[in-house]
Amino acid sequence: MGAYPDDSAKLDKTEYGKPFVKNRTGYEFNLSHSGRLIAFAEDDAPVGVDVELVKEKDYRLFHRYLNTEEMSMIESSSDPEACFFEIWTVREAFAKEEGLGLGILDKQFSVDYKSRRISYDGRVLYFKSFDRFADERYKISVCSVHDVSDAVLTELTPADWEQRIESLKQGINYRT
């Protein structure tokens, strides 16, 4: 663990709501929550994370955001809700990585679910998706310009989470 160069670093957010630490370059984080789960991701480049509780959902209402391939993937899946939420968390993690809100989902980009890459504006981004089972089932995706294939899920207690957020406010870097 190391301290940030400026102990006066404070949390702020962009006009689209993406949080960041003021006076600190080379450290990015993002968070998401759904149901009783909070997902947190950090990197030295822009990063996005999304978590969704898998539940019954009429995915057809999201046709505006989903392409033909994705709709086909969902419709042919043995678990359409889980498939929809995996696709949706990838898309939302991408939108959050870019920091432009969900409006970016109307723009031209392509997702390759086999190679776990997103092509956008001449760049390649990477994503990884997770399943989390406890009392409820969740889908979680993280997206970055870095290969996130070695990203892992770490369970935090509520006290661990409060300590991490407080440390962020004070400028402590948790990455090892």
Read out DSSP for 126-173?
EEEEEEEESSSEEEEEEEESS--TT-------HHHHHHHHHHHHHTEE
Question: What's the pLDDT at 7?
Answer: 57
Q: Residue 48: how many CA atoms within 13 Å on its side-chain side?
A: 24
Residue whose entry in the numeric block shows the structure tokens 């999201």: 62
Q: Which residues of the chain have pLDDT under 70?
A: 1-9, 106-107, 169-176
Residues in the chain, overall count: 176
The pLDDT of residue 79:
94
Contacts of 157 (CB under 8 A, 6+ apart): none
8 A C-beta contact, residue 10 and residue 166: no
Number of other CB atoms surrounding residue 30 within 10 Å: 24
Q: What is the pLDDT of residue 9?
A: 65
| Region label for 116, one of left (φ > 0), alpha (ψ between -120 and 50) or beta (otherwise) | left
Token pair of 146 as six digits: 């870095």
Amino acid type, 119: S
Whether residue 20 contacts residue 28, with contact meaning beta carbons closer than 8 Å, is answered with: yes
pLDDT tens per residue, range 124-171: 999 999 998 877 899 999 999 999 988 888 777 778 878 877 777 666
Q: What is the DSSP letter of 102?
A: G
Is there a contact between 19 and 12 (Cβ–Cβ < 8 Å)? yes
Contact 120, 94 (CB under 8 A): yes
Kindly report the number of other CB atoms within 10 A of residue 104's CB atom: 19
Is the pTM value of this prediction over 0.75? yes
CATH number, domain 13-166: 3.90.470.20
